[in-house]
């Protein structure tokens, strides 16, 4: 599987976790912003990531996955979203 395809699959798997727990893109953006304490994350950026429009770094994936865990009260790890 090519890198781009793997990245799109990871995004799809992360999106599926959000859908499973009824997490909106705005709620995820807010949670990632709280975790990062840097510039606010926009809902459009979350949508782009979850739709596989760009390949996030491992650090960004951790931020999003941690935000999902925070909102849903779960303990997902990278293995749960790997292709």
Per-residue pLDDT of 19-36, as tens digits, reads: 999 999 999 999 999 765
Of 39 and 20, which is predicted with more confidence? Answer: 20
* pLDDT in the model for residue 38: 66
In angstroms, the first-to-last Cα distance of the chain is: 9
In this prediction the pTM is 0.91
Q: pLDDT (tens digit, 9 = 90+) per residue, 44-80?
A: 999 999 999 988 888 899 999 999 999 999 999 999 9
Neighbours of 27 (CB within 10 A): 17
């Amino acid at each position: 599987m090519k890198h781009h395809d793997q990245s799109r699959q990871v995004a799809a798997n992360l999106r599926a976790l959000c859908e499973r727990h009824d997490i909106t893109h705005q709620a995820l953006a807010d949670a990632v912003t709280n975790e990062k304490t840097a510039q606010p994350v926009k809902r459009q950026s979350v949508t782009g990531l979850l739709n596989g429009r760009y390949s996030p770094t491992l650090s960004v994936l951790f931020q999003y996955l941690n935000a999902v865990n925070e909102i849903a009260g779960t303990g997902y790890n990278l293995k749960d979203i790997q292709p």
